[in-house]
Amino acid sequence: MTGSVTLAASVPELILSIGAMLLLLVAGWRGDEASRGISWAAVALFVAASVSLIGAPSHAGIAYGGLYRADAFAGFAKLLIYIASAVSIMLAPGWFSRTGAMRAEYPVLILLSATGMGIMVSAGDLLTLYVGLELQSLAAYVLASCMRRDLRSAEAGLKYFVLGALASGILLYGISLLYGFTGTTQFSGIHAAIADRGLSTGILFGLVFVFAGLAFKISAVPFHMWTPDVYEGAPTPVTAFFASAPKVAAMALMVRVAVEAMGPATDAWRQIIIFSSLASIVLGAVAAIGQTNIKRLLAYSSINNVGFALIGLAAGTPEGVASVMTYMTVYIAMTLGSFLCIIRMRDLDGAPVESIAALSGLSRSRPGLAAALAMFMFSLAGIPPLFGFYPKLAVFGAATNAGYFWLAVAGAVGSVVGAYYYLKIVKTMYFDEPAPLLASSDDKIEGGLIALSALAISPLGYLAIPVLSAATLTAAKALF
């Protein structure tokens, strides 16, 4: 493969990283006043990167001597990542203008983080995986503590950093074991080594450590401890970002490592994934019940949802992988929608409100917002006719078809338990005595984004199923 073709395969990353550096210069020159313009320029860069995913070069296959894969799977995951990152940038200026000055570096850091996520989902080698993961995480640590004067934000950043460094260490240990026992860091090479020589104890150890490191990034139980604290402490737009784009990237990376590198060892990793998914579903559902802070509640909700997505991976079939991608697609629409509603919650002085009690009687004071939040909650609970039901059906269907009927049943039981706390929020909004009034908002961008995500998860979403299932299946087939 010639050099130019290789470069062309990674055009999305080039657009994002070079654009981020240019915007960094603008930020350095003009300071924080330019942050609104930089935000829109960053959104434009995401649009350009998404457009560059279409077309031949992005499906060029293997590039950079096996380090980088540009296939349909990476393309699909990147599209989701870019959409979620662009939304996280768009909802920031409104929120930051009410609580403190918006930093011009915020969009730049999200751009660089999205570059890292693109490298993650395109990884064809353990080294690419690690560099992408570090780029994404390091930008995320800074974003979590970007409101320095807020004690909780600083705490969230520090906690995220220390635990993330520990997870990176575990991941690297696994990578070194895999390299030592297979003699290569390439996914295809590891695949061949396991297929040829079988699964030795050393490789098994490496596999467990790598999965533990990745489970931290998707916050699957038992590596979820950081999630509620970080989600609660980080500024809300940053939390919305954490709950959407990096989750998709880490999930896609996990799927790729499981299928492409560890394909012959499916029976070995399936047990880990099944345990992790059931534990995430149960813990996410039970621990959320006692929460009084809506951001903490959504953190447990994201743990719970990751558990459902992992059921699809446990199936280990192309259908299962497709269902994981379907799940993540609908998940980011629901999560971003919920966080957009939370961003609108603030008292009459403009200070953000995060307690669930403040939502009491919202249906009378702000009927539109209450209806939208109720829709997202019903959808997260997986109650038909809302679209959140369909991805759950898809992962359960994939598990059943792969012969794991009991897993689907356990997941369905877990989703009933989880429905309790989603419905409790709806009850608070519709049937409780009104709490002190929340300030009304006329931010057109936030309103438009809420309407858009509500539309995506409304029953109209079922019209998109043919397109969605075709795209996810093409993406999944690229791995097998």
Partner 1 sequence: MIQILAFYLFAIVVVLSGVLCVTARNPVHSVMWLILAFFNAAGLMLLVGAEFIAMLLVIVYVGAVAVLFLFVVMMLDIDFTEMRSGFAKYLPIGVALVAVLAGEIIFATSAWNAGGIPLGDAPTPDPEAIPNIQALGLLIYTRYLFIFEGAGLVLLVALIGAIVLTHRKRGDVRHQNIAKQNQRRPEEATVNMKPPVGQGVEL
- Site of interaction with partner 1 (CB under 8 A): 10, 17, 21, 24, 64-65, 67-68, 103, 105, 108-109, 112, 115-116, 119, 125, 127-128, 131-132, 134-135, 138-139, 141-142, 145-146, 148, 157, 179-184, 193, 197, 200, 202
246 near 113, Cβ under 8 Å? yes
91 near 240, Cβ under 8 Å? yes
* Rg of the chain over all Cα atoms, to the nearest angstrom: 21
Least CB distance from residue 139 to partner 1, whole Å? 5
Residue with tokens 């959320």: 288
Amino acid at 307: G
- How large is the angle between the packed helices 72-90 and 444-457, nearest 10 degrees? 140
What six digits make up the tokens of 398? 């994939």
Q: Which is nearer to partner 1, 245 or 297 (CB)?
A: 245
Q: Give CA–CA dist 284/279, Å, rounded.
A: 8
Least CB distance from residue 445 to partner 1, whole Å? 24
Where are the extended beta strands (E) located within 98-172?
A: none
Least CB distance from residue 17 to partner 1, whole Å? 6
Least CB distance from residue 234 to partner 1, whole Å? 14
Q: Which is nearer to partner 1, 105 or 446 (CB)?
A: 105
What six digits make up the tokens of 453? 């995500």
Q: Which is nearer to partner 1, 190 or 429 (CB)?
A: 190
Least CB distance from residue 458 to partner 1, whole Å? 38
Residue with tokens 């260490």: 169
For 200, left (φ over 0), alpha (ψ -120 to 50), or beta?
beta
Q: Where are the alpha helices (DSSP H) in 145-260?
A: 151-182, 187-197, 201-217, 226-233, 236-256
Distance from CA of residue 139 to its chain's centroid? 15
Q: Which is nearer to partner 1, 69 or 296 (CB)?
A: 69
Cis, peptide link before residue 385, omega less than 30° from 0: yes
Q: Which is nearer to partner 1, 178 or 399 (CB)?
A: 178
Q: Which is nearer to partner 1, 158 or 393 (CB)?
A: 158
Residue with tokens 């558990």: 307
Q: Which is nearer to partner 1, 125 or 446 (CB)?
A: 125
Q: Give CA–CA dist 35/434, Å, rounded.
A: 37
Distance from CA of residue 453 to its chain's centroid? 16
Q: Give CA–CA dist 307/399, Å, rounded.
A: 13
Distance from CA of residue 32 to its chain's centroid? 28
What six digits make up the tokens of 374? 């109720």
Least CB distance from residue 116 to partner 1, whole Å? 8
Least CB distance from residue 475 to partner 1, whole Å? 22
Q: Which is nearer to partner 1, 30 or 197 (CB)?
A: 197
Least CB distance from residue 229 to partner 1, whole Å? 18
Least CB distance from residue 415 to partner 1, whole Å? 38
Q: Which is nearer to partner 1, 128 or 379 (CB)?
A: 128
The torsion angle over the Cα atoms of residues 40, 46, 48 and 50, rounded to 10 degrees, is -150
